[in-house]
Amino acid sequence: MKKRNAWIILAVHAIALVLLIYTAFVGWGTTGSGAAKNIKLGLDLEGGVSITYQAVDPNPSAEDMADTVYKLQQRVDGYSTEASVYQEGSNRINIEIPGVSNADEILEDLGKPGSLEFQLEDGTVILDGTHVTSAEAASQKDNMNNTEYVVQLEFDKEGTEKFGDATSANVGKNIAIVYDGETISAPRVKEAITDGKCVISGSFTIDSAQELASFIRIGSLSLELEEIRSNVVGAQLGQKALSTSLRGGIIGLALVILIMVVAYKVPGIIAGFALILYAALDLVAINAFDMTLTLPGIAGVILSIGMAVDANVIIYARIREEIASGKSVKSSVDIGFKKALTAIIDGNVTTLIACFVLNLMATGSVKGFAQSLALGIVLSMFTALVISRLLVNACYTLGMQDEKYFGKALKFNRLHIIGKRKIFFAIALICMISGPVFCLINNAAGNGALNLSMEFRGGTSTDVTFEDSYTIEDIDSKIKPVIQDVIGDAQIQSQKVAGGNEIIFKTRQLSVDERQQLTEALDKEFKIATYKDNEGNDAPSINYETISSTISNEMRRDAVIAVIIAVVCMLIYIWFRFSDVRFASSAVLALIHDVLLVFASYAIIRISVGNTFIAAMLTIVGYSINATIVIFDRVRENLKERRSFDSLEDLVDYSITSTMTRSIYTSLTTFVTIACLFVVGVPSIREFALPLMVGIVAGAFSSVCLTGPIWYVLRFAKDKKDQAAQKAAQQAKAEQKITASKKKKKSAKK
């Protein structure tokens, strides 16, 4: 590379960084387009619209209510992956959609849930809307090759059979789609439709096609619903949750860059530049893709920052190794990037596979986590493999050609990990069973196996209107402490309703006595507004309702299935890439260890199990797999030169020892980032950060002390079996030679 080109590269990157930082913090135009301040935030960080529906049937079954909640959750995912739906009381359903402030607009778009039926011309009902699994507006070409808008429908198995029978018997006749007693469409049957898929065509515009599809989707609910209220509400976690998270993230990023500079000298400065560029790119991209950021989404961003650091650590550690082996700096840089490539790609691709599956199958916060993590991974790979490489080569051309610029590699004596594997296995086993043991202890003490939050077990929604208006800061600093004193629990979510003095508090399930005590305490300290009851007396404007979990059984099931499939897909990829099922098996066992250890922290410390529980577990899965692959990549590399090692044990120990730099620095930088969130964050942030810190320590332990030994045990057993088979084959061959020799001698005597 010529010096002129090197200066151009540095100048272009410097300008790009300035522009990205300006875009992320200021934005362009009067609206600040592209700025981080315009990123959509979830209900937990910013607030949004809250809509309450009530079933027309006064006594709906629990099954119908659960089914309706689940279907509505899938439907509102179209507005935001972070929207939540939960049951209130016995016949009400709340929908909360973040990032919006116009309730009327949402209601108009969502439509009024009502009954839907498909009827023949004589009024006979063929089937109802519960058999519709999908209704979408689409476009297609007509006979004249013109574009026309249509509505595509899909039915479930029972609906397919009923619709097939009806259309077969009524070709040429109309089938009416009746919504709330009103015919909204009456398409003519052109042919029998027996595959469960049909297309409604006509003189549709894109808007009219979308409107019809919306009516059909809404009408496919198990219950007929009516709207009873809609509000614009504030952030659930309070105003400080976002500001403290950002402050912690900035402090963590600064400390990570400082660690990289101290550890890697000039390459560390380049890594810091690349990380700042990555952070700015990530913020702009989240804005550009119109993603909604919540606390679980922040987890995905944090993990991708850790993986961005990891890629740089792997590269620079390999460069140092090559320099230490006697190669020139230029050659070491080229070889370092080349050798680090496979570990970086394999580690990131496995996590991307998980993100793809989770985004495809999961709902709610799990999908948001997957999207933010996937975006971060792609950008981190770009900054590490492209930006960092260009900058390192440019700096080399401009004079960074001495070994001193890269610092000295940490030297470790051979770690005898394999020889101590029984000790490590025993420690791991104790850690893995500690969680279930403490769950049993907690359950026996009557405290519940885990400290389930209202997201999992439901709770009480307290809707109170005060005489005076209170800011979000007042709610966090004054009102919440009073509620905490009464109920003895810090898990309190609050939402301020816009345009009045109404505030909604969500807490654990409150007894009748606790509700009375809370009413008295709030009225004494803050004065609750009053209204005239049916008897003309003044009554406090406070209402209590029992609410269901915001994470329904179906959502939990979907999340668990998605995680299982994601892990299986990751392990299939590992098996394929490493051509050895033992690598995949070892990764599974290490993954189980890490997840169970994080689970144990929830049981032992009694951390609240809520939305962040799923995010924390997913974060550790991604982190653990990535750490495991780095060591496996080195084992795979060394297996090609197995003859240069005294034994398989020596090979694995050397592989683990040679990757210790990566293990230490990646764990340290990621831990520091999370620790900053823990120190400066609000209680809800701390409850999220603490198990992540436990998971990082668990991941570091398993990657160094478990993955290699587990693979060694499995591989050694195979080698031993192969050696036994080889020995038996050699013995059989020798016996055949002896037998043949004896026969030959007998023949000679004759």
What is the tens place of the pLDDT at every residue in 359-390? 777 666 677 777 888 888 888 888 888 898 89
Q: What is the mean pLDDT of residues 535-547?
A: 86
Looking at residue 527, its pLDDT comes to 92
Instruction: Examine the domain organization and report whether 305 and 288 are in the same domain.
Output: yes
The confidence band for 608, taking pLDDT boundaries of 50, 70 and 90, is: confident
Q: Give the domain extent around 529.
A: 459-547
The confidence band for 241, taking pLDDT boundaries of 50, 70 and 90, is: low
Nearest to 26 by CA among 15, 17, 13, 37: 37
160 domain-assigned? yes
Alpha helices in 87-228 (DSSP H): 103-110, 157-169, 206-219
The confidence band for 547, taking pLDDT boundaries of 50, 70 and 90, is: confident
Higher pLDDT, residue 171 or 207? 171
Distance between start and end Cα atoms, the chain: 84
Higher pLDDT, residue 249 or 668? 668
What is the tens place of the pLDDT at every residue in 292-320? 777 667 766 776 777 778 888 888 888 88
41 domain-assigned? no
Q: In total, how many domains does the chain have?
A: 5
Residue with tokens 């500079």: 261
The confidence band for 76, taking pLDDT boundaries of 50, 70 and 90, is: confident
Instruction: Examine the domain organization and report whether 294 and 367 are in the same domain.
Output: yes
Q: Is the pLDDT of residue 249 over 60?
A: yes
Burial of 596 (0-12, 13-18, 19+ CB in 10 A): middle
Q: Is the pLDDT of residue 100 over 70?
A: no
Query: In the listed set 530, 547, 564, which residue is the last one of a domain according to the structure?
Result: 547
- Which residues fall within 8 angstroms of residue 366, CB to CB, at 6 or more apart? 296, 358, 559, 562, 614, 615, 618
Instruction: Examine the domain organization and report whether 505 and 471 are in the same domain.
Output: yes
What is the tens place of the pLDDT at every residue in 128-143? 888 888 888 888 887 7
Determine contact, residues 178/169, Cβ cutoff 8 Å.
no
234 domain-assigned? no
The secondary structure of residue 476, as a DSSP letter, is I
Q: What is the mean pLDDT of residues 87-114?
A: 70
What is the tens place of the pLDDT at every residue in 138-162? 888 877 778 888 999 999 899 999 9
Looking at residue 134, its pLDDT comes to 82
Beta strands in 214-369 (DSSP E): 225-234, 292-293
Determine contact, residues 680/244, Cβ cutoff 8 Å.
yes
What percentage of the chain carries pLDDT values higher than 90?
16
Q: Is the pLDDT of residue 109 over 60?
A: no
Q: What is the CATH number of the domain that holds 154?
A: 3.30.1360.200
Instruction: Examine the domain organization and report whether 297 and 388 are in the same domain.
Output: yes
**Which of 234-248, 317-331, 733-747 is most confident?**
317-331
Higher pLDDT, residue 59 or 721? 59
Looking at residue 726, its pLDDT comes to 66
Determine contact, residues 598/687, Cβ cutoff 8 Å.
no
**Which of 54-63, 151-160, 289-298, 579-588 is most confident?**
151-160
How many angstroms separate the CA atoms of 722 and 102, rounded?
Answer: 70
Looking at residue 421, its pLDDT comes to 93
Instruction: Examine the domain organization and report whether 632 and 502 are in the same domain.
Output: no
Looking at residue 34, its pLDDT comes to 77
Query: In the listed set 112, 137, 165, which residue is the last one of a domain according to the structure?
Result: 112
The confidence band for 336, taking pLDDT boundaries of 50, 70 and 90, is: confident
Higher pLDDT, residue 739 or 719? 739
Residue with tokens 């049937």: 57
Instruction: Examine the domain organization and report whether 163 and 264 are in the same domain.
Output: no
Q: Is the pLDDT of residue 216 over 90?
A: no
How many angstroms separate the CA atoms of 523 and 467, rounded?
Answer: 10
Looking at residue 581, its pLDDT comes to 86
How many angstroms separate the CA atoms of 526 and 519, rounded?
Answer: 10
Looking at residue 459, its pLDDT comes to 86
Neighbours of 586 (CB within 10 A): 28
Determine contact, residues 424/708, Cβ cutoff 8 Å.
no
Nearest to 703 by CA among 648, 647, 673, 664: 664
pTM, entire model: 0.71
What percentage of the chain carries pLDDT values higher than 70?
88
Instruction: Examine the domain organization and report whether 397 and 428 are in the same domain.
Output: no
How many angstroms separate the CA atoms of 712 and 708, rounded?
Answer: 6
425 domain-assigned? yes
Q: Is the pLDDT of residue 105 over 70?
A: no
363 domain-assigned? yes
Instruction: Examine the domain organization and report whether 643 and 674 are in the same domain.
Output: yes
Looking at residue 711, its pLDDT comes to 92
Nearest to 178 by CA among 170, 187, 169: 187
Q: Counting every residue, how long is the chain?
A: 750
231 domain-assigned? no
Q: What is the mean pLDDT of residues 254-272?
A: 87
Q: What is the mean pLDDT of residues 484-513?
A: 85
Determine contact, residues 155/163, Cβ cutoff 8 Å.
yes
660 domain-assigned? yes
How many angstroms separate the CA atoms of 488 and 467, rounded?
Answer: 26
Q: How far is CA 492 from CA 162, 479, 488, 497, 506, in A?
A: 49, 10, 11, 16, 6
Higher pLDDT, residue 156 or 109? 156
Instruction: Examine the domain organization and report whether 514 and 573 are in the same domain.
Output: no
Q: What is the CATH number of the domain that holds 93?
A: 3.30.70.3400
Instruction: Examine the domain organization and report whether 537 and 484 are in the same domain.
Output: yes
Mean pLDDT of all residues in the chain?
82
The secondary structure of residue 477, as a DSSP letter, is I
The confidence band for 538, taking pLDDT boundaries of 50, 70 and 90, is: confident
Looking at residue 166, its pLDDT comes to 92
Nearest to 392 by CA among 340, 348, 338, 337: 337
Instruction: Examine the domain organization and report whether 107 and 130 are in the same domain.
Output: no
Looking at residue 515, its pLDDT comes to 92
Query: In the listed set 547, 575, 606, which residue is the last one of a domain according to the structure?
Result: 547
Looking at residue 529, its pLDDT comes to 92
Looking at residue 516, its pLDDT comes to 92
344 domain-assigned? yes
Instruction: Examine the domain organization and report whether 67 and 162 are in the same domain.
Output: no
- Indicate if the alpha-carbon torsion angle 264, 270, 275, 278 is positive or negative: negative
Higher pLDDT, residue 521 or 659? 521
What is the tens place of the pLDDT at every residue in 418-438? 999 999 999 999 999 999 999
The confidence band for 163, taking pLDDT boundaries of 50, 70 and 90, is: very high
Nearest to 721 by CA among 575, 577, 582, 585: 582
Q: What is the mean pLDDT of residues 328-341?
A: 88
Looking at residue 324, its pLDDT comes to 82
Q: What is the CATH number of the domain that holds 691?
A: 1.20.1640.10
